[in-house]
Amino acid sequence: MSDRKDLYYFMSQKTSVKPKESIMPMLFSIRKNYSTAQFGKDLIAGVIVAIIALPLSIALALASGVNPEQGLYTAIVAGFLVALFGGSQVQIAGPTAAFATIVAGIVAADGMEGLVVSTIMAGILLILMGIFRFGALIRYIPGTITEGFTFGIAVTILIGQLKDFFGLTLSESPIETLEKVEAVFRHFDTINLHALLIGIIALAILIFWPKKLQKIPPSLIAVIVCAALVKLLHLPVNTIGDLYEISSAAPTFHMPALNVTMIRAQIPNACTIAILAAVESLLSCVVADGMIGEKHRSNTELIAQGIANVGSALFGGIPATGAIARTAANINNGGRSPIAGMVHAVVVLLILLLLMPFAALIPMPAIAAILFMVAYNMSGWRGIVRTIKTAPKSDILVLMVTTLLTVFFDLVVAIGVGMVLAALLFMKRMAEVTESHTWHRIEDGEQDPAHIRYRNIPPQTEVFEINGPMFFAAVDKYDSILRKQSMKVLCIRMRNVLAIDAAGVEIMLHLAAQCKQRNIHVIFSHVNEQPMKALTHAGLPILIGENNFCSDIDSALARAAEIIQECNKNKQS
């Protein structure tokens, strides 16, 4: 097979080139088919989602260590910008529980200026991720890592609310999770039974609210009922107004004082916020796609999340991302376009301007109960139980390590260690499934042309088959290739090798050089596209001859027979 086309047999095959995903915001793509009837549905859905977002945004702001109105600023600014520029028809953005512990840590360590700077930097990173089309890469974060840090965040949120749920009086303000647990046990004798009762009532409403009335958010009913009880019965229970100054002012622009030292210090926080915002928002988009039967634009969504986080930070808000629960509520109430998300933001703004003083009456135990339910709903404990029951031990190890590191250290450490551990364990599994062997000769009477292993192998020819990826962790699988001393032709079958790395290429080059020294001809059979490109780039076809790359095993064996015949002729002459 001297024709040059054989060398590029698999490289020259026509493959369907996937068109680049558009980064046009979804709002501009659907405007042509938008109807008045759909606007009515989006309007209703937006109002309902705003009512749901009100107590959640306040609760998440308090869990993040900032003032309650800052949660509403986030829902207003980020919610509107994601709807305007986003890549999903139905995404609702705002503050989420995933950021609570991260934001609280940044505020405690670096103040609001540090949070604003890190959020703006995270927004810029998200925009760059979208521009350079990193949206598809997010799916390479293993599910066990996502499950692990999500469950870990849920645990930290729950622990952080124990103080307010039991009405404890602490002598200090612990930041770390273990310190919070220790403080709760040490000061448990300061329990406020009135606060505990209010917390239990709020929790009961959240759990047992009738499904028939789900369009009325149970969190809203819980805060109204509990606020009324505390006010009318004059119960000694802390409210938001007792601990925070409530502002009903609209969000205003504020540019932080930037300097190199602060920017450098906030790089780790910015990376954490960006990664978490990307993962959470795209996960929410995937869930929404399944509910409405559409497909989101991942890179557009990343750009929108970046713009939204920059905008939120500049207007007094905190980090934001797609909120799965609010997005699902939007869909369930008829929302099918970004207009619903924009309506939600406008309604939250009106509530802030007109009704915010009433937020001062909300009891802190009711906020704690709401966050308990948020932590429970985000924990994904059923998925974790299923993973523990069915997944390999290596996946369970990654899950557990990520969870523990999230709880006891922070998300940066958890994701970093989790990714490295998952990669190492994955490479170990790949190395285990990679195998190689020499074809054994079969007696002539046993030959069956229909079976791949029953081929007529020419004399003084060995067929060596490799199955699985060729990479550095599996180099010890190929040390038996040159054990046969009498062969004149070595045929290497690579039909089941779909990928090769630098170590694999180096092995092939070293093998070819050794064979050349021993006057052994090397023939490659069925080299797939990626290995072919790598071997060609390394110059292997020049070293062994382009005509020694064959498209299948029959062609390779025929080429081997030609070489043996030529060798015999040369020997006779």
pLDDT in tens, 108-153: 999 999 999 999 999 999 999 999 999 887 777 888 988 898 899 8
Residue 325 is predicted with a pLDDT of 85
- Kindly state the percentage of the chain with pLDDT values over 70: 92
Residue 6 is predicted with a pLDDT of 44
Kindly tell me if the per-residue pLDDT of 194 is higher than 80: yes
Residue 230 is predicted with a pLDDT of 96
Kindly tell me if the per-residue pLDDT of 8 is higher than 50: no
Per-residue confidence band for 13, with pLDDT thresholds at 50, 70 and 90 = very low
Residue 441 is predicted with a pLDDT of 66
Label residue 254 left, alpha or beta by phi (over 0 means left) and psi (-120 to 50 means alpha).
beta
Q: What is residue 299's three-state secondary structure?
A: helix
Could you give the count of Cα atoms lying within 13 Å of 417 in the half-sphere of its Cβ? 18
- How do strand 93-94 and strand 321-322 relate by DSSP bridges? antiparallel
Task: Name which of 123, 133, 128 is nearest 307 in CA terms.
Answer: 123
What is the Cα–Cα distance from 512 to 567, expressed in whole angstroms? 19
Return all residues near 289 (Cβ < 8 A) that are at least 6 apart: 88, 295, 296
What mean pLDDT is predicted for residues 156-173?
90
- Kindly state the percentage of the chain with pLDDT values over 90: 59
Return all residues near 449 (Cβ < 8 A) that are at least 6 apart: 455
Indicate the DSSP class of residue 98: G
Residue 88 is predicted with a pLDDT of 95
pLDDT in tens, 331-374: 988 999 999 999 999 999 999 999 898 989 999 999 999 999 98
Per the structure block, which two tokens stand in for 143?
A: 């599910």
pLDDT in tens, 405-416: 989 887 778 888
Query: Which backbone phi and psi does 386 adopt, to 5 degrees?
Result: -65, -40
Neighbours of 342 (CB within 10 A): 19
Residue 14 is predicted with a pLDDT of 40
Per-residue confidence band for 211, with pLDDT thresholds at 50, 70 and 90 = confident
pLDDT in tens, 268-292: 999 999 989 998 899 889 889 988 9
- Contact assessment for residue 103 and residue 319, using Cβ atoms and an 8 Å cutoff: yes
Per-residue confidence band for 159, with pLDDT thresholds at 50, 70 and 90 = very high
Higher pLDDT, 172 or 36: 36
Indicate the DSSP class of residue 363: B
What is the Cα–Cα distance from 278 to 185, expressed in whole angstroms? 37
pLDDT in tens, 439-482: 876 654 455 555 555 577 888 888 999 998 988 888 777 766 76
What mean pLDDT is predicted for residues 7-13?
43
Per the structure block, which two tokens stand in for 573?
A: 């002459």
What does the DSSP assignment read for 135-179?
GGGGGGS-HHHHHHHHHHHHHHHHHHTHHHHHT---SS---SHHH
What is the Cα–Cα distance from 190 to 164, expressed in whole angstroms? 12
Single-letter amino acid, residue 353: L
Residue 447 is predicted with a pLDDT of 52
- How do strand 321-322 and strand 521-525 relate by DSSP bridges? unpaired
Residue 443 is predicted with a pLDDT of 55
pTM of whole model > 0.85? no
Structural domains of the chain in order of their starting residue, each with its CATH number:
40-211+235-379 (no CATH), 435-440+454-572 (3.30.750.24)
What is the Cα–Cα distance from 354 to 58, expressed in whole angstroms? 15
Scored b (16 or more CB within 10 A) or e, 260-287 reads eebeeebeebbbbbbbbbbbbbbbbbbe
